[in-house]
Amino acid sequence: MGSNFFHTRALLWSFWSNILFIVGMVGYVLMDGFDYKSPNTLSRSLAASIYVILAGVFVVSSIFQLLSIYYMHSSTPRYYIMTASCIFDKVGSDFYFIGALLAAAAFTNSNTIWTINLIGLCGFAIGAVINMLVRGPSILSSWANILNLLGSLTYLLAFFITLSPLTQIIVIIGDVIYLIDAILYTICWFSDRQVALGQGEHITIVNK
- The pLDDT value given to residue 3: 53
pLDDT tens digits along 122-139: 999 999 999 999 887 889
The pLDDT value given to residue 205: 47
Question: Domain total for the chain?
Answer: 1
Ranges in the chain, pLDDT < 50: 2, 201-207
Q: Say what the pLDDT of residue 51 is.
A: 96
What pLDDT, on a 0 to 100 scale, did the predictor assign at position 1? Answer: 56
Q: What is the pLDDT of residue 196?
A: 60
pLDDT of residue 38: 87
d(CA 201, CA 192): 9
Please check whether residue 170 lies inside any domain of the structure: yes
Segments forming the whole domain that contains residue 22: 8-199
pLDDT, one tens digit per residue, over 79-101 is 999 999 999 999 999 999 999 99
pLDDT at 39: 85
Query: Would residue 64 count as lying in a domain?
Result: yes
Residue 192, domain member (yes or no): yes
- Within a domain: residue 1? no
In this structure, is residue 100 part of a structural domain? yes
Q: Looking at the domain assignment, is residue 205 inside a domain? A: no
Is the residue at 126 inside a domain?
yes
User: How is 150-195 classified by DSSP, letter by letter?
Assistant: HHHHHHHHHHT---HHHHHHHHHHHHHHHHHHHHHHHHHHHHHHHH
What pLDDT score does 102 carry?
93
Report yes or no on 127 lying in a domain: yes
Report the alpha-carbon distance of residue 35 to residue 31 in Å, rounded: 6
Alpha-carbon span 67 to 97, nearest angstrom: 19
